Amino acid sequence: MSTKIVIAGGFGAGKTTLVGSVSEIPAVTTEAVMTEASVPHDDTSATPQKVTTTVAMDFGRITVDQQLILYMFGTPGQARFWFMWDDLVRGAVGAVVVVDCRRLADSFEAVDYFETNRRIPYVVALNKFDGALEYTTEQIREALEVSSDVPILDFDARDRSSSGSVLKTLLRYALSNNAAAAPVG
């Protein structure tokens, strides 16, 4: 049996990194070099080393056990590519919203997408870029206006084990909320 999950979030939050860190196959990415044309659209002040961006999706696969294969689809983070989200989310049993706590405002749209589309369970994963978080989970929950039942956890997208724990939490949460997990579309 196979299942689909979505990795969403704002620009530069760590979605591609999460998919790449846990995928058992080389992750398929649609990374494009950022050009001067993107300067008015993409704020790289918090991520000055970022030179590429996802323009369509990321894809990875994990064999959870002999009975379950998990397919991961990462969304692009910029607003100009959001038209693709509905197609990427269709058929997913759950989603991870990756949040860069240095730029919470970049996560508002992703959280809002899943908060208003209650048919798909999601978790919020706080990516620890500096090895620590500046805010408590409750401060993040309040700032993002996330429902009290939605799990919020911290992780490091570069670390396979840490990213794997996020995916396990999502799967458990999606299973426990299976009435809400009807496929979108």
Give me the CATH number covering residue 100: 3.40.50.300
Token digits of residue 102: 């240095």
Entry pTM: 0.82
Q: Residue 23: inside a domain, yes or no? A: yes
For the chain, the straight-line distance linking the first and the last C-alpha, in angstroms and rounded, comes to 21
Q: What is the pLDDT of residue 89?
A: 86
Residue that is written with structure tokens 């590429």 in the block: 52
- Pair of tokens at residue 174: 């999606």
Is 39 within the bounds of a domain? Answer: no
Classify residue 40: in a domain, yes or no.
no
Per-residue pLDDT at 48 exceeds 80: no
Q: Bridge partners of 62?
A: 70
Residue 77 domain boundaries: 2-33+54-180
Interval 117-167: pLDDT, tens: 767 899 999 998 776 677 888 999 999 999 899 999 999 999 999 999 999
- Residue 181 — pLDDT band, cuts 50, 70, 90? very low
**pLDDT value of position 26:** 87
What is the distance between the alpha carbons of residues 105 and 94, in angstroms, rounded to a whole number? 22
Structural domain contains residue 151: yes
Give the pLDDT score at 126.
95
Rounded mean pLDDT of the chain?
A: 82
**Whether the predicted pLDDT of 31 surpasses 80:** no
Structure-block tokens of residue 44: 């790289």
Residues 6+ apart with CB under 8 A from 171: 5, 64, 70, 94
- Find out whether 129 and 100 touch, Cβ atoms under 8 Å: yes
Q: Where are the alpha helices (DSSP H) in the chain?
A: 15-22, 85-89, 108-116, 137-144, 160-176
